């Protein structure tokens, strides 16, 4: 089950009606608290955070909303950042790299990307998995010409980071 969270709506509820920008540490803290309140009420293994109506995202907000959420909650759920544009991406990547974190983003054109810090082999494995839709370690090994053991290790690494989900021996991205 996925939980969609519209940041503009959270911003409206927690800070003020008129803002379209996610800027300042205080705003980031308020929005993160709003997200955490939603998370505490709902079950679900994947959380979609929608940046579609956000104009400017500064580093302080990116740290509170993405960095801190991942630092503290990524063990519990997969977070997918929706409708991320180049401006959002710049702030989010900066925060993720500084914290040695990775996050899954879906761009406005629908492309799935991993932002932040992740090894190149794991990135290639993820890209291959997205092409396949879902796969076992053996199927991924065939697709990538990797030894099955290596493919399995990469998929497990992606699972640990909650960038990939596993069910009945098959792996898939949290969203299509």
Partner 1 sequence: MTRVIPVPQQFDDRTFDQFARAYSAPSPEEKVLFDAHATQWASPYGLLGLLVAGQAWLDRHKVHPLLTLPEDRDVAHYWARAGFFRYAQEFFELHGKVPKVVASGTSDVLLEVTPVREADDVHAVVDRIQDRAQTIVSHELGLEAQATMGFAMALSEACQNIVEHAGTGGWVAVQTYTWRRTLGRRVAVIAVADAGVGFRRSLEATQAKRFGDRWSDATALEAALIQGVSRFRDPGRGQGLAGIRRYVSRWSGKLSVRSGTARIAIVPPWDDDVPLADGLPDFPGSQVLLIIPAAQPAK
Name the site residues for partner 1 (rule: CB under 8 A).
18-21, 23-27, 55-60, 63-64, 67-68, 71, 85-87, 90-91, 94-95, 98-99
Q: How far is the CB of 96 from partner 1 (least distance, A)?
A: 11
Distance between CA 12 and CA 167 in Å, rounded?
A: 37
CB 151 to partner 1: min, Å = 33
- Report the residue number, 9 or 90, with the smaller CB distance to partner 1: 90
Q: Contact at 8 Å (CB) between 28 and 63?
A: yes
Cβ-count burial of 125 within 10 angstroms (0-12 exposed, 13-18 middle, 19+ buried)?
A: buried
Rounded-to-integer distance, Cα 152 and Cα 171, Å: 10
**Minimal distance, residue 91 CB to partner 1, in Å:** 6
Q: Which is nearer to partner 1, 101 or 129 (CB)?
A: 101
Q: How far is the CB of 95 from partner 1 (least distance, A)?
A: 7
Q: Of 134, 172, 174, nearest to 49 (Cα)?
A: 174
In terms of C-beta density within 10 A (0-12 exposed, 13-18 middle, 19 or more buried), how is residue 19 classed? Answer: middle
Cβ proximity to partner 1: between 94 and 156 the closer is 94
Nearer of residues 18 and 110 to partner 1, judged by Cβ: 18
């Amino acid at each position: 089950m996925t939980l969609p969270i519209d940041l503009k709506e959270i911003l409206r509820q927690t800070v003020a009606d008129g803002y379209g920008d996610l800027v300042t540490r205080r705003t980031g803290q308020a929005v993160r608290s709003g997200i955490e309140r939603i998370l505490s009420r709902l079950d679900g293994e994947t959380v979609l955070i929608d940046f579609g109506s956000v104009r400017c995202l500064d580093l302080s907000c990116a740290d509170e909303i993405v960095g801190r959420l991942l630092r503290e909650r990524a063990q519990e759920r997969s977070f997918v950042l929706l409708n991320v544009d180049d401006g959002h991406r710049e702030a989010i990547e900066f925060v993720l790299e500084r914290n040695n974190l990775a996050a899954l983003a879906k761009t406005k054109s629908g492309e799935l990307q991993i932002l932040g810090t992740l090894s190149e082999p794991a990135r290639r494995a993820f890209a291959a998995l997205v092409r396949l839709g879902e796969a076992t370690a053996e199927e991924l090994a065939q697709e990538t010409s990797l030894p099955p053991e290596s493919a399995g290790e990469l998929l497990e690494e992606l699972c640990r980071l909650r960038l990939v989900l596993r069910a009945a021996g098959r792996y898939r991205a949290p969203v299509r």
